[in-house]
Amino acid sequence: MQPTAGYAQHWDEKFSSRAWGRWPPEDLVRFMGRNFKHLQDKSRVSVLEVGCGPGANVWFLHREGYAVSGIDISPTAIDIARKRIATENKDCTAPAPDLRVGNFARLPWPDASFDVAADIFALYANTLPVIESALAEIARVLKPGGLLYTKLWGTRCTGYGTGTEIEPGTYDAIGAGPCAGMGMTHFFTREEIARVFGRHFTPIAIDTIFRTDEAAHQVLEEFHCQLRKK
């Protein structure tokens, strides 16, 4: 299942108009450190980020020495990421990141190419059939036993159930909360994560972050998930 041309334009406009995505989230830094800090040569670890945006995580992973690839549907985002890495990481000895414009429900890499895949609030912005196709592709390009780290929105977020319902759990034109103005959003439950991701992955940990934001005017529920390819 392919995103429409309008979907690509939507994200191109977002990345063209917003100065965001400069720093990696602490939880991803912690996940990589806990799993790979013991390695002297991190270039032995190949990492794919799906929905890499303007490259905050790719930038960090490359600076840390990992062999990094990334894909995003927005040409603007990939251009920003390439320019930042060329400027700020020019002295890095790790392999140059392989960044591509494309659809992560149809990945352009061979089977068993990566040790790790990361999704930092990218998969959620699709219908469930597209998410399921993307997960099958992520599993395909991961090596046996490879790891997936993903961050997803939960149904306790402000804005859940508002806007236009596309399918159960998926809404567009959300008027409030962290996904307001961001387009299509699928909100997960813990049980749904176990079911949908469980077709290709074994959960290691599904942690919940529940907090307020914007001076307590909105509630955020985040699922931080660590999974291993079956």
Segment 141-149 shows an average pLDDT of: 98
pLDDT at residue 1 in the model: 43
Q: Which residues pair with 117 in a beta bridge?
A: 48, 148
* Mean pLDDT, the chain, integer: 94
pLDDT in tens, 202-226: 999 999 999 999 999 999 999 999 9
Q: Stretch 135-159: mean pLDDT, rounded?
A: 98
Residue type, 96: A
Q: What is the DSSP letter of 110?
A: -
Residue 136 is predicted with a pLDDT of 98
Q: How close are the terminal C-alpha atoms of the chain, in Å?
A: 23
CB 218 within 8 A of CB 179: no
- Domains of the chain from N-terminus onward: 5-228 (3.40.50.150)
Q: Find all residues with CB under 8 Å of 175, minimum gap 6, and list them.
A: 159, 162, 163
Average pLDDT over residues 41-62: 97
User: In the prediction, which pLDDT does 5 show?
Assistant: 55
* pLDDT tens digits, 60-115: 999 999 999 999 999 999 999 999 999 999 999 999 999 999 999 999 999 999 99
What secondary structure does DSSP assign to 35-54, as a single string?
HHTT-S-GGGSEEEEES-TT
In sequence order, which residues have a C-beta less than 8 Å from that of residue 5 and are 6 or more positions away? none
The amino acid sitting at 70 is: G
Closest Cα partner for 109 from 89, 54, 117? Answer: 117
Q: Supply the pLDDT for residue 219.
A: 97
Percent residues over pLDDT 70 in the chain: 97
Q: What angle do CA 224, 153, 48 make, to 5 degrees?
A: 55
Confidence (pLDDT) at 95: 92
pLDDT digits 0-9 by tens, 167-195: 999 999 999 999 999 999 999 999 999 99
Q: Which helix (H) or strand (E) holds 148?
A: strand 142-153
pLDDT at 57: 98
Q: What is the pLDDT of residue 178?
A: 95
Q: Residue 109 gets which letter from DSSP?
A: S
pLDDT at position 16: 76
Does 2 have pLDDT greater than 60?
no
